[in-house]
Amino acid sequence: MMLHVLKKIDALVSSARPTYHWLGQISVTILGIHLAADRLDDLISPWMAKIQVAWPSPEAPLTAATWCAVAVELTVVLWATWALMSACAQPVESVRQWRDRLSVRSVFTPLFWAPTSLAGAWVVGMAVEDLTAPWLLGHATLLGGVTTVVVAWRLSVTGWIRVLRCTPVPRSRLQGLVWVPVAGVVAGLAAVHGLPIWGWLG
């Protein structure tokens, strides 16, 4: 009886998956965007300090840089959400079909999605490790690593596949160009500061 109920619940969850799966995909990407934005204010503040204005306090340039980073973060979050939700065209089945939809957006969005969503998965894994470390000790690292892999596989990869295969037919080959500078900076910071591969390579 209990097994039958569990099967029913599993079937219900599976059937409802399309209604909530996108939320996990964008959430993990937002975590990666936030991680990158945390680094952005550190990069902006020295430039702010060099501006020849009468800052009200020594901390004012850092405060201004922080608000600039917040503005960039919110802007990129809105764009990423729109990019995911609008990737609802019939999935392409071949390189030739994808080439018919070729645009700046169709190329840039997957390139943006990969580092930011994987960085978000890494953030989730590290949070699990930090949360369980007092009880699991050394095993918390393994649990954090497993969590990262699972989140990356179920959310980061599936989101990346969606923005790659379901990109809509562009109105212009240059569609999406306006977003490349700001979202590109965020993706670069996520790649450099949000992925553990650099520590492994070092």
Kindly state the average pLDDT of the residues 151-156. Answer: 91
pLDDT value at residue 201: 43
First to last CA, the chain: 54
Quickly tell me which residue has 């204005």 as its tokens. Answer: 53
Domain-wise residue ranges, the chain = 29-196
Report DSSP state, residue 195: -
pLDDT value at residue 81: 96
pLDDT value at residue 102: 93
CA-based nearest residue to 36, from 156, 194, 163, 151: 194
Higher pLDDT, 41 or 124: 124
pLDDT over threshold 90, residue 2:
no
Structural contact between residues 117 and 185, judged by C-beta atoms closer than 8 angstroms:
no
Higher pLDDT, 59 or 40: 40
Kindly state the average pLDDT of the residues 87-103. Answer: 91
pLDDT over threshold 70, residue 133:
yes
Alpha helix positions (H), the chain:
2-50, 60-85, 95-100, 104-136, 139-151, 157-165, 180-193, 197-201
What gap in Å lies between CA 145 and CA 60, rounded to an integer?
A: 39
pLDDT over threshold 60, residue 8:
no
> Which pTM value belongs to this model?
0.85
CA distances from 65 to 21, 25, 43, 188 (A): 34, 29, 8, 18
Kindly state the average pLDDT of the residues 61-86. Answer: 92
pLDDT value at residue 62: 80
pLDDT value at residue 4: 57
One-letter amino acid for residue 53 of the chain: V
Kindly state the average pLDDT of the residues 19-29. Answer: 86
Higher pLDDT, 130 or 55: 130
Structural contact between residues 116 and 40, judged by C-beta atoms closer than 8 angstroms:
no
Neighbours of 72 (CB within 10 A): 20
Structural contact between residues 118 and 152, judged by C-beta atoms closer than 8 angstroms:
yes
What gap in Å lies between CA 42 and CA 46, rounded to an integer?
A: 8
pLDDT value at residue 190: 94
